[in-house]
Amino acid sequence: MQPPATLSDGVVVLREFREGDRAVVLSTMGDPLVAEWLNMPARPSAAAFDALLRVARDGRASGNRYDFAVTEADADSAVGAVIASRRHRDNFELAYLAGEAGRGRGLVSRGVRLVCDWLFAEGVGRLEVRTHPGNLPSQRLAERCGFQREGIERRSIWLHGRREDAILWSLLP
């Protein structure tokens, strides 16, 4: 599966992360809300950004992971991200996040829908999202994008060095 260089709905554009995103990505990694729900480095550094670029590049090359920067169509600054990771049986799991500038405006929701549409067009048969039970904004985004809540997976995710429960959401073509 070869992803397009960009995905767009005219309002948002999804593209690969690049060197010019360094400052905004490091700021987002350090954002308290992002750090609360995702395993971010305690002190985001140039090395953390370099590692992100390496993981994204390697994942894209192998077809196992696709990282997309969410940008506004009229401004090429990353305001969030959508990541699609291949799982068992060729299902994909989506993760998403928004920095402060990208929250509450529907931009990441649009990005998630674009990635879902692309994956389904490629023949993927099931998409999943896992949210922490306390992460209400992430749950609302999954619902807005059409994901159905399937139930609780007990102690299925790692968050800040501990196993935590996750709500499993799915979307079918």
Q: What is the pLDDT of residue 6?
A: 97
Q: What is the DSSP letter of 155?
A: E
What span, in angstroms and rounded, lies between the C-alpha atoms of 94 and 84? 5
User: What angle (nearest 5°) sits at the alpha carbon of residue 38, between those of residues 71 and 57?
Assistant: 55
Q: What is the pLDDT of residue 91?
A: 97
Q: Which of 114, 18, 121 is nearest to 60 (CA)?
A: 18
Q: What is the pLDDT of residue 42?
A: 87
Round the average pLDDT of the chain to a whole number and report it: 96
- Confidence (pTM): 0.95
Residue with tokens 């992002």, as numbered in its chain: 34
As a whole-number percent, the residues of the chain with pLDDT over 90 amount to 97
Asked whether the beta carbons of 164 and 143 are under 8 A apart, the reply is no
Q: Give residue-wise pLDDT tens across range 40-95.
A: 998 999 999 999 999 999 999 999 999 999 999 999 999 999 999 999 998 999 99
Give 132's pLDDT tier (boundaries 50, 70, 90).
Answer: very high
Give 30's pLDDT tier (boundaries 50, 70, 90).
Answer: very high
What span, in angstroms and rounded, lies between the C-alpha atoms of 115 and 147? 13
Q: What is the pLDDT of residue 79?
A: 96
Asked whether the beta carbons of 150 and 170 are under 8 A apart, the reply is yes
Q: What is the pLDDT of residue 92?
A: 98
As a whole-number percent, the residues of the chain with pLDDT over 70 amount to 100
Which range (36-45, 115-124, 127-136, 138-147) has the least confidence?
A: 36-45
